[in-house]
């Protein structure tokens, strides 16, 4: 993994990355920004295989049992393409493995069912290095949706990367930070408000609707308005492109990468191109020197950037910014494998912990929403000022619930949209009818440090939290203004 600097820089262009000869050992931690990793390390020196999967993609690890008598190193995962399972296998056959019989290969290949892609270093034949044929291993049914291309830049190594583009979307999951927001970076908010106002004007008598219908209608109008205001994404964008896939933003790039880094990469590419054209030994030596110099200079630039970052810190520096930046320099990030891959044992453990949290004395039935002895002030309809205060305190970076409507969308609501939402809140308050969607939470379990227990993170609909904020503000004012809180 000596090419990690460039890997972390260009990893945003891919959804799944297969790496051979990682030279990682079980005691070495390796994390790539924005990716989950599945790896198989060699106990001794060298070797090792790894699969990096974008952490918004559903996957399941597959155990590799047959390994050609121990002569092949491999790890595998299963993802979804066009709703069908696809197995991706990263392999490495060492050059000193010797001859592997056809029967051994048959047993190795036949252990994977359905559609399969095998990638890695087989030390096999390819026309790129003068062989009469090329070895490619993939299921025949994948030929129509896959495009293969050998890269021209080896990133300073002695292997050329192979890019595989799938003309279909990968199945994605929802987790913390991975919930699907309805909007995109290029959403036209003026068009969103215009389309929303047009749809709201078509509702003749909203007061005659019950809160459940009003809310579902409101959410549908928001979704349709965003779809109109957001440029459509090509459905056949390549699966290897994290920047263009389903409108998802790529992982942040290296914080230390500068234009000087690009210059050193360009110099190395020029040396490689010169060697390819001439084939002379002298040019090959110059290329290898360029590889070494580029690696050294990239390391120097990274150290200087980190030193500059540390010198700029003071007692007023934001701790969150400091730790996040340090993790980006070190490429160390927490991974929530539970959101993507969950074994039956983990599911049972999570269910047991939920049962422990539920006290036996808690009543099952909910109390009435509106009590007979309630204070008259608490039952008054919400005012526009209360809604404006609640909107002012919204945290834009909060993740949305299952409906995909986050605070960014809510803050972009037009005046007519805000008035309609205020009507919904007042209707809920007066009739005591709570929308069913507000009882549905997106829950993700984050493993704690010991790996034995989990911390549940629940994401409620943001529109629900806006009304909760108005209720909380009203209750706080009522308690404090009436001196209803005990002094102790």
Q: Per-residue DSSP letters for 63-128?
A: -----TTTT-EEEEEEEEETTEEEEEEEEE--GGG----HHHHHHHHHTS-SEEEEEEE-----GG
Tell me which of 95-109, 225-239, 385-399, 443-457 is least confident.
Answer: 225-239
What's the average model confidence in pLDDT over 156-162? 64
- Of residues 81 and 295, which shows the higher confidence score? 295
Assess whether pLDDT exceeds 90 at residue 271: no
pLDDT at 120: 81
- Of residues 275 and 124, which shows the higher confidence score? 275
Q: List helix spans (H) across 144-280.
A: 189-201, 211-229, 259-278
pLDDT at 333: 43
Give the C-alpha separation, 352 to 344, whole Å: 12
Give the C-alpha separation, 302 to 322, whole Å: 16
Beta bridge partners of 26: none
Q: List helix spans (H) across 235-363.
A: 259-278, 281-311, 319-330, 344-357
Split at pLDDT 50, 70, 90, the class of 137 is low
Highest mean pLDDT (candidates 163-167, 180-184, 301-305, 368-372): 301-305
Kindly report the pTM of this predicted structure.
0.43
pLDDT tens digit string along 327-381?
Answer: 777 654 444 443 444 556 666 777 777 777 666 665 555 555 445 555 677 788 9
pLDDT at 401: 84
Assess whether pLDDT exceeds 80 at residue 174: no
Record: fold of 1-186+236-252? Deoxyribonuclease I; Chain A (3.60.10)
pLDDT at 177: 41
Tell me which of 230-234, 242-246, 290-294, 427-431 is least confident.
Answer: 242-246
Other residues' Cβ atoms within 10 Å of the Cβ of residue 428: 22
Split at pLDDT 50, 70, 90, the class of 85 is confident
What's the average model confidence in pLDDT over 276-300? 85
Give the C-alpha separation, 477 to 382, whole Å: 14
| Cβ atoms 68, 30 nearer than 8 A | no
Highest mean pLDDT (candidates 121-130, 189-198, 223-232): 189-198
Split at pLDDT 50, 70, 90, the class of 193 is very high
Tell me which of 66-75, 364-373, 386-395, 472-481 is least confident.
Answer: 364-373
Split at pLDDT 50, 70, 90, the class of 130 is low
Residue spans of the domains in the chain: they are 1-186+236-252, 198-230+342-481, 254-336
What's the average model confidence in pLDDT over 291-316? 86
What are the structure tokens assigned to 39, written together?
């790896």
Assess whether pLDDT exceeds 70 at residue 462: yes
What's the average model confidence in pLDDT over 459-483? 88
Split at pLDDT 50, 70, 90, the class of 65 is confident
Assess whether pLDDT exceeds 90 at residue 163: no
Torsion of CA 211, 216, 220, 221, to 10 degrees: 0
pLDDT tens digit string along 214-248?
Answer: 888 888 889 888 888 888 643 333 334 443 444 44
What's the average model confidence in pLDDT over 19-29? 81
Identify the residue whose tokens are 């295989």.
49
Tell me which of 434-438, 440-444, 451-455 is least confident.
Answer: 451-455
Give the C-alpha separation, 145 to 165, whole Å: 8
What's the average model confidence in pLDDT over 382-407? 84
- % helix / strand / coil in the chain, to the nearest 5? 40, 15, 45
pLDDT at 418: 93
Q: What is the DSSP letter of 252?
A: P
pLDDT at 176: 38
What are the structure tokens assigned to 349, written together?
């453990």
């Amino acid at each position: 993994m000596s090419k990690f600097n460039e890997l972390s820089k260009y990893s945003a262009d891919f959804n799944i990355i297969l790496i051979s000869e990682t030279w990682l050992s079980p005691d070495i931690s390796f994390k790539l920004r924005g990716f989950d990793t599945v790896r198989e390390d060699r106990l001794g020196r060298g070797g090792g295989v790894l699969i990096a999967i974008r952490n918004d993609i559903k996957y399941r690890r597959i155990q590799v049992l047959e390994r050609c008598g121990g002569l092949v190193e491999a790890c595998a995962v299963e993802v979804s393409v066009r709703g069908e399972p696809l197995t991706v296998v990263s392999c490495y056959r060492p050059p000193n493995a010797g001859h592997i019989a056809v029967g051994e290969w048959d047993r190795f290949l036949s252990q994977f069912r359905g559609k399969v892609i095998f990638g890695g270093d087989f030390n096999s034949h390819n026309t790129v290095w003068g062989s009469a044929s090329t070895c490619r291993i993939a299921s025949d049914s994948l030929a129509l949706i896959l495009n293969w291309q050998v890269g021209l830049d080896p990133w300073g190594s002695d292997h050329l990367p192979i890019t595989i583009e799938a003309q279909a979307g990968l199945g994605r999951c929802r987790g913390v930070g991975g919930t699907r927001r309805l909007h995109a970076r290029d959403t036209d908010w003026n068009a969103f408000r215009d389309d929303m106002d047009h749809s709201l004007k078509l509702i003749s008598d909203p007061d005659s609707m019950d809160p459940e219908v009003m809310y579902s209608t409101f959410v549908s109008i928001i979704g349709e308005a965003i779809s109109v205001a957001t440029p459509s994404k090509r459905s056949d964008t390549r699966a290897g492109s994290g920047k263009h896939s389903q409108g998802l933003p790529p992982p942040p790039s290296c914080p230390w990468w500068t234009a000087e880094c690009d210059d050193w990469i360009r110099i190395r590419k020029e040396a490689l191109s010169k060697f390819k054209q001439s084939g002379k030994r002298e040019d090959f030596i110059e290329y290898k020197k360029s590889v070494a110099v580029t690696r050294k200079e990239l390391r120097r630039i990274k150290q200087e950037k980190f030193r500059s970052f540390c010198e700029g810190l003071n007692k007023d520096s934001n701790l969150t910014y400091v730790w996040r930046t340090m993790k980006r320099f070190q490429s160390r990030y927490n991974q929530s494998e539970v959101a993507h891959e969950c074994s039956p044992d983990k599911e049972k453990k999570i269910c047991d912990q939920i049962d422990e949290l539920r006290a036996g004395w808690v009543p099952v039935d909910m109390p009435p929403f509106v009590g007979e002895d309630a204070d008259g002030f608490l039952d008054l309809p919400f005012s526009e000022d209360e809604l404006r205060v609640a909107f002012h305190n919204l945290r834009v970076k909060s993740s949305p619930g299952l409906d995909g409507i986050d605070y960014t969308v809510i803050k972009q609501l037009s005046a007519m949209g805000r008035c309609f939402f205020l009507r919904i809140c007042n209707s809920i308050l007066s009739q005591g009818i709570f929308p069913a969607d507000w009882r549905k939470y997106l829950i993700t379990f984050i493993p704690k440090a010991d790996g034995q227990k989990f911390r549940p993170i629940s994401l409620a609909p943001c529109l629900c939290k806006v009304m909760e904020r108005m209720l909380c503000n009203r209750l706080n004012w009522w308690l404090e203004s009436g001196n209803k809180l005990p002094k102790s």
